[in-house]
Structure 1
Amino acid sequence: VIVWCVCSSEVRIGNSLNESESQHVANRRATVQQCLQEHNIFCSVDEVPNIALAATGGGERAMIGLLGSLSQLSEERLLDCIMYLGGDSGSTWCMASVYKEPDWSNQMETVKQNIIKRLNQGKITCSEQYKMLAKMCEKDNFNVTDIWAIFIVSDIVKEIDDHVLTEQRGQNTNNPYPIYTVIDKKCKHNTLNRDTWFEITPHECGYSQTGAFVDSKSFGSQFEKGAKTKEQPEIDMMYLQGLCGSALADVEEIRNRIRKQILHFFTRMEKKLYKIPEQLMKSYIMSIVCLSLTVDDVHPSVLKSEKRHYEDTGLLINSPYLSILRKERNVDLIISLDFNSGVQFETVDQAAQMCKDLQIPFPTVEHPENIEEPEDFYVFKDNPNAPVVIHMPLFNAMNCKGEVKMCETKYTTFQLAYSDEMISNLLEKAGLNIKNTKEKLLKEIEEVIQRKKN
């Protein structure tokens, strides 16, 4: 629930980066510079490129794919080159897991093993679900996303994470800056509307392209004419994972799965003689955004609507491109880890088209001849005003060897928890994509630096 007023200091109208993000990026430049020097790539601090890792969604496939990619980047001593880590849908489940560790990028192997152990052996009990739901139903804005997150997402990630996002402030100065992305449901059908893209970071949340932000602590509270009229508990990481991963919860899917889970849950609860709060069954809007006064470039529906709905980015473009491409972030190189399944190049094609519609610089995307058996590394860089985009399909001719379709069928988006063997194999395939393309990555980084020098 976010209600804001332009005249309030609680709301920041403008496209500039918030001070904390700017400071994080400035501090990390020395880390990136040192990492590049280890690979015999030399540049001044001012010439250090802003490299963003963009991870698509894809359920647990995306979660494990990103984990394997981050682990291999660390092993190849490339992780410290990354300035931003953006994700949506299932990739945010991995992000939520790794960012719990304040210095995760410097202890990636340990973090990976802990997550694998949790996925293989973890189990969410009925009592844990009940306690979390009882806590959540105390909120005035208790809603269906709480139920979805606790009943479904927790069963996939094998954890109920009640940490809050703002705990990451100051704890992750040695890590890439995280960007979690969702979309505005009412705006998503209008591709010319910049208000579609909504980002959530440890410091601020708001509309990436429009430039309207509030402190992340306020995501869930109510404001009127600039004053906070009703403060709600800060959203926790369990809720955030449910919100970001709500593409799995289309209308019929969420009805069927939650209906079954609730009936099963209540049956177990009744046997244990728990008293079920009536409010537990209440669900309503997941987020509300009310604005008063007018703001240039903000769509009238956002300004005048009392309620705003946010949902999984995968329901429009299954990638965090539009938040990463925020002009003020000055990203020079995007490494897109495509964990999508189905139509090859769909996410990068959609991003290119939307950027064209919104007049955001983006390189031309050219398809290979054999799109059904893609390579593991593509580069798009014909636009000097746009970042270089590296596109890396998870399943490709290199790590699947003629079995791309079989891999896509085996690792489906809507499948619940993967088996131990599936997790192990998927980690290996994602890791191979980084290992096999290391030299190509370094070559593109060198060229980006040269372009900055010129």
Structure 2
Amino acid sequence: MWLNSEGEQWTSLTKIESSLCYLLTVRVIRARNIHQADVLSQTDCYVSVWLPTASNDKFQTKTIKNCKDPVWNETFYFRIQSQVKNVLELALYDKDVITQDDHLFTVYFDIAKLSLGEEVFMHFKCDSQRQEELEVGFALDNISGPPETIITNGVLVSRKICCLEVQVVEKKKKKEKKSLSMQGSYEGTQDIMLGSDLVFSSSSPAKFHYARYKQPTLDVTLPGKKRPPSLCSRVYDTGSPNVELHSIPSGENMILAEDKGFDLYAKAEDCLCSSPDHLDVRLGFDLCMQEQDFLCKRWNYVAPALKKVLQLQQDLLNHETPVVAIMTTGGGMRSLTALYGSLRGLKKLGVLDCATYLTGLSGTTWTMSNLYRDADWSQKDLDKQISEARKHMTKCKINSLSLEYVKYYKKQLCQRKREGRRTTFIDLWGLVLESLLHDGKDNHRLSDQQRAIDHGQNPLPIYTAVNVKNNYSTLDFKEWVEFTPYEVGLQKYGVFVRTEDFGSEFFMGRLMKKVPESRICFLEGMWSSLFSFNVLYIWNLSHSSEDFWHRWTRDQIDNIEEEPLLPLKPHELQTRLFTPPGPLGNTLRSALTDRLCISQEHNFLKGFHIHNDYLDNTHFCRWKDTVLDTFPNQLTQSDEFLSLVDTGFFINTSIMPLLKPERKVDVILHLNYSAGSQIQPLDQTCKYCSEQGILFPRVDLSEEDRKKLKECYLFDGAETPGAPILLFFPLINDTFQKYKAPGQKRSESEMEDGKVDLYGCCSPYSTYSIQYTEKAYDRLVQLSEYNILNNEDLIMQALRTAVARKRQIKK
């Protein structure tokens, strides 16, 4: 426990538990009335049995040829962790000799439905019209051995992992390269050289890190020889095991297999995992200690600034000081330029020092990363930074495609590949951005920005992206990812890594391979990945809805009947049937959902399991908004890489990190720089928050206002207790046409300076424009600054209301 900035006691939800393992028995009995998949004969059926939380192997029954009522009567055994959400996948296939096996359907069955010590025979009604049915028997029993120690935050589970050192000693003393593989381990496959001496050193043995109780299988491949049986930890299987890997005594050398030509030795060591402190990721939904410390330091700047701008007689106490955030939207170079003007306006009003957070996406992240190179940027006027940005915005960009730069790009991409990264076109885009916005190589990294907030002297910057999945539209699957100088994480799962470790390789929460932190230009490329669009996104832009295509791009999932009806239990999922699409459906779905290019980083959730009660976790449910949230086997922890894109591919907003209840944001200055409709991102945010149950003020704009927007709107959230106050600044050119400053009319000779064409067909401020004239740049900075200064009264009203509410809440 620790105290937050308001003196309240906070408790980490992460805990250590001793959790029992059970023995699950699955008996695949028979199927009935299976429809004919082949033209000339009945189906040749077999069933694939997969429980990814217990084993990485997919087991399968024998094939019953030319039969619509196949009988298998085959039994499989799994050691399962009781606190993990175990969903068994039973897939029925038609065996084909020439073509790929036909996938008929898959049944998803939640093991949480079963009662300990009871045997049950289930009849899954897969097709009521054809009366297709799959019959399976289940039993759940206690298993010998001590309980397993797990670490969990209520959504993710980290299990005990071991390091297995394996060495093959060939008796013929012939040195050759041999291959060992362990599915489900971090390493996967290792090549070793056979030697004549048994020496366990850091270099000679092959090492595998694996979850001790997840039935790992060790396979040995010796060239020119018949592959020996797998060495596995299955309790039982249709093929008997040689040894149970989880039973190998820790720290002792032992022989796993003996052969005429070689001996196989192993030594297992438990990896340290006695507390969350031993993990290299942070499991928890609260703010990290560094951010909590920052909030305390930032208060020393915010409280005096609020007292000054509001002309208060007394100092503000901690509990009376509202949390103010500046939120921006994307818009390429237009948003980069306009944000400079908005911030200069806020600086002149004294409001910039009142802000605790500054969030961005796409083009505004370019501005933010430039500003935070200066450790004291918000304590100075911004003229120098604006002038520097002007130089790069107006320079000729053709040099970025010169031979010299192309060679530099290739060298940098090769270096990233050597570091172990998966490079994509988005990395090249980041390097191009570097050349567009800087002189030469920029060695700045996101973690370097800690220097700009270590005393609380500037608002805390938060950059945003969304994690997506192949074969799914952004509407169907997206997960918010936030980046700060301290850490990177997904609030939905409550998992974060240190910023300097983002991009490194993790397994079950442990750092396995450290990769150098990316230079910030590569993050900027990912935060503004203009090239991650797909056909559905383009359709959505033109028709405002993807609904027309959902029948082609969504999985066909149906809840199915089962007999007998088992007693309803907490946390259980319904039994469902997945029917795969045909070749035409697959082709169309791929054409609609495949993205042109995507940024991929090593997944720091890799290896984690989903907790059995995850759907009852309030933090997960707040951000639960994807079609896969009730399919735990397919969530992000099962992916090798995170697939990250510009947040604008869902909603052009960076507001979501500010709506975390833990940040307690009271006032949000919504600076909108979108192209097209200025109100659309705000409307989309309101709709999303309403659907998710997230507190957000009601946006009530008249039709007249929507047709002709004003420079600023105040939504105080009075009708939604607990919601932040929202100040909405659309990027429009209204009174600026006649006024060069608040209360100062333009002369006839100055009227031309007020003509800023923001969104016309001949506008210089297109989202895809990469070069401005000096006049265009200056006018956009002046306009965005003016729109802030001209609405000082509304800003002060919002701040006064926030202070009054804080005082009232305390009373």
Instruction: Specify whether residues 345 and 405 from structure 1 end up closer, same or farther in structure 2 by C-alpha distance, changes over 3 A only.
Output: farther
RMSD: 2.6
2:771 is aligned to 417
How many angstroms does 1:228 deviate by?
2.2
Contact 1:5 1:11 in 2 (8 A): no
Structure 2 distance, partners of 1:238, 1:83, is 25
Which of the numbers 358, 371, 375 marks the counterpart of 2:710? 375
2:408 match: 131
The amino acid of 1:130's aligned partner reads K
Q: Partners in 2 of 1:451 and 1:189 — Cα distance?
A: 41
Please give the residue correspondences for 1:105-184 in structure 2 after superposition, counting only pairs within 5 Å: 105-107=378-380, 108-121=382-395, 126=402, 127-128=404-405, 130-139=407-416, 140-141=420-421, 142-151=423-432, 153-154=433-434, 156-159=436-439, 160-172=441-453, 173-184=456-467
- Report the Cα distance in structure 2 between the residues aligned to 1:285 and 1:240, rounded to whole angstroms: 9
Q: What SS does structure 2 have at the residue aligned with 1:247?
A: coil
For 1:192 and 1:451, how far apart are their aligned partners in 2?
38
What displacement does 1:145 show?
1.4
Q: Indicate which of 415, 430, 433 corresponds to 2:784.
A: 430
In the alignment, which residue of structure 2 is the partner of 1:278?
Answer: none
For each residue in 1:59-107, what CA deviation from the matched residue of structure 2 results, as whole angstroms up to 9, or x when unmatched?
A: 0000011111111211222210110000011110100110111111012
Structure 1 alignment gaps of length 5 or more: 253-282
Cα deviation code 1:292-330 (max 9, x no counterpart): 222435643112223320100011010111111111110
1:306 aligns with 2:640: yes
| Structure 2: gaps spanning 5 or more residues | 1-155, 160-277, 536-596, 621-628, 739-753
Kindly indicate whether structure 1 or structure 2 has the higher relative contact order, using CA contacts under 8 Å at least 6 residues apart. Answer: 1
- Please state if 1:407 is matched with 2:758: yes
Preserved contact between residue 426 and residue 598 of structure 2 (Cα < 8 Å): no
1:440/1:285 CA distance change after superposition, 3 Å:
closer
Alpha-carbon distance between aligned partners in 2 of 1:47 and 1:66, rounded to the nearest angstrom: 29
Aligned partner of 2:378: which letter?
A: S
Aligned counterpart for 1:293 among listed residues 606, 609, 614: 609
CA shift digits 1:1-27 (9 cap, x unpaired): xxx983661111211000111111111
Q: Bigger CA drift: 200-209 or 77-86?
A: 200-209
Distance in structure 1 (CA, Å) of the matches to 2:607 and 2:677: 39
Partner of 1:452: 806
Measure, in 1, the Cα distance between the counterparts of 2:666 and 2:691: 21
Paired amino acid for 1:21: E
Contact 2:328 2:653 in 1 (8 A): yes
Query: Hey, what's the Cα distance between the residues in 2 that align with 1:130 and 1:53?
Result: 39
Query: Could you say which residue in structure 2 is the equivalent of 1:244?
Result: 527
Per-residue deviation, residues 182-202 of structure 1 (Å, max 9, x unmatched): 011229857697x61100110
In terms of mean alpha carbon deviation, does 407-416 or 81-90 score higher?
Answer: 407-416
Which residue of structure 1 aligns with residue 365 of structure 2? 92
Change over 3 Å in CA distance of 1:364–1:229 after alignment to 2: same
Q: Which moved more, 1:103-112 or 1:437-446?
A: 103-112
Q: How does 1:50-65 map to 2 (within 5 A)?
A: 50-65=323-338
CA distance in 2, matches of 1:448, 1:93: 30
Question: In the alignment, residue 448 of structure 1 is paired with which amino acid?
Answer: A
Letter in 1 for 2:800: E
Contact 1:318 1:347 in 2 (8 A): yes
Matched residue count: 419
Residues 17, 145 of structure 1: alpha-carbon distance in 2 compared, 3 angstrom cutoff = same
1:221 aligns with 2:504: yes
More helix by share: 1
Spell out the pairing of 1:21-36 with structure 2 (5 A cutoff). 21-36=291-306
Equivalent position SS for 2:429 = helix
Separation of aligned partners in 2, 1:122 and 1:137? 27
Which range moved further: 97-106 or 241-250?
Answer: 241-250
TM-score (norm 1): 0.85
Return the offset for 1:170: 3.2
**For residue 13 of structure 2, what is the aligned residue in structure 1?**
none
Q: Equivalent residue for 1:266?
A: none
Query: Residue 208 of structure 1: CA displacement?
Result: 3.0
More strand by share: 2
1: CA distance between counterparts of 2:344 and 2:699?
A: 28
- Partners of 2:359 and 2:737 in 1: CA distance: 26
Please give the residue correspondences for 1:182-261 in structure 2 after superposition, counting only pairs within 5 Å. 182-186=465-469, 189=473, 196-247=479-530, 249-250=532-533
Q: Within 5 A, what are the aligned runs for 1:259-298?
A: 286-289=600-603, 290-295=606-611, 296=614
Percent identity reads 27
Return the letter of the residue paired with 1:220: G
Counterpart of 2:238? none
The alpha carbon displacement at 1:331 in A equals 0.3
Tell me the SS of whatever aligns to 2:601: coil
Q: Are residues 28 and 56 of structure 1, via their aligned partners in 2, closer, same or farther at CA, if it must alter by over 3 Å?
A: same
Worse-superposed segment, 180-189 or 210-219? 180-189
SS in 2 for 1:336: strand
What are the Cα deviations for residues 234-292 of structure 1, in whole angstroms up to 9, with x where unaligned?
1111011111111355369xxxxxxxxxxxxxxxxxxxxxxxxxxxxxx9852232242
Describe the SS at the equivalent of 1:309: strand
Q: Distance in 2 between matches of 1:415 and 1:315?
A: 19
